[in-house]
Amino acid sequence: MERLIFILLFTISSCCIAQVKSGRIEYQILMPESAFELKSVNISMRDYMKNELIKLKQAYSSTQFMLEFNHSRSMFKVLQTMSIDGRSTSNDVAMSADSNGIFYTDISSKSIIREVLFESRDYFVKEEFPALDWQILDETKQIDQYTCYKAVATKKSENGKSIPIEAWVATSLPFNFGPANYSGAGGLILELRTPVFIFKVSDIRLFNDNREIDFIKTDEEPISISEWNSFFTRVKN
């Protein structure tokens, strides 16, 4: 009898998921303890860096990110929130996680376009979808009501270092999206971890109608990610 009830509930759940055509997720952003290790930072600068990280961690607690999606497109951005001292730190938080701007992902064109405001001008940066080569593992954990599979990948930083990426993917939700450009893992990413930040789902809303995504509208030809990195490095120097 218990087995019959389980099968019935599983069937009902699968049917409900099959009817889902779009949705919206909000992520909170957290700072792992590993961010405070600062092994590569000069000893004389470590106290200063730790204080700055503590301030940033406080700003994390008041910042949310939003992902809207249907089966073919998604849009991801930081939500404008206020810090505890009344000053908006949303963009500072987003920059610390390389998630500033708006990320538009289009599966049909296999592209991710990031709209970034820099020095009062909008730049449009294009990269291929998926941006990472994901490996799905057998390890699972429950997030909300969804069984998620662990996925791992490696991301190259601007200085050429390899950054380990860990995601928890709800493969039962067949939307191939996640925070920022961390998409293409075979399902909806509900949690994503790097050595310096964590995106963790705080709210999930699924809809049975195919809601349109407020997608990018521009006639400007986007630049490549390598062109953007070169430009940004040149400006900083």
Domain residue extents for the chain: 2-236
Q: Which residue has the higher pLDDT, 4 or 114?
A: 114
Residue 78 pLDDT level (bands cut at 50, 70, 90):
very high
The mean pLDDT of the chain is: 84
**What digits encode the pLDDT tens for the residues 134-143?**
999 999 999 9
Question: How far is the CA of 168 from the CAs of 3, 44, 46, 61, 140, in angstroms?
Answer: 28, 37, 32, 21, 8
Identify the pLDDT of residue 152: 98
By three-state DSSP, how is residue 167 classified? strand
CB neighbourhood size of 132 (10 A):
20
Asked if residue 15 has pLDDT above 50, the reply is no
Helices (H), strands (E): how many in the chain? 4, 12
pLDDT at 8 over 50: no
What are the pLDDT digits (tens) for 169-188? 999 999 999 999 999 999 99
Highest mean pLDDT among 8-17, 203-212, 213-222: 203-212
Helix (H, G, I), strand (E, B) or coil at 63: coil
User: What's the pLDDT score for residue 22?
Assistant: 96
- Region 208-220 average pLDDT: 88
- pLDDT band (50, 70, 90) for residue 45: low
**Res 27 pLDDT > 70:** yes
Where does the pLDDT of residue 12 fall: very low under 50, low under 70, confident under 90, or very high at 90 and above?
very low
CA distance 209 to 20: 7
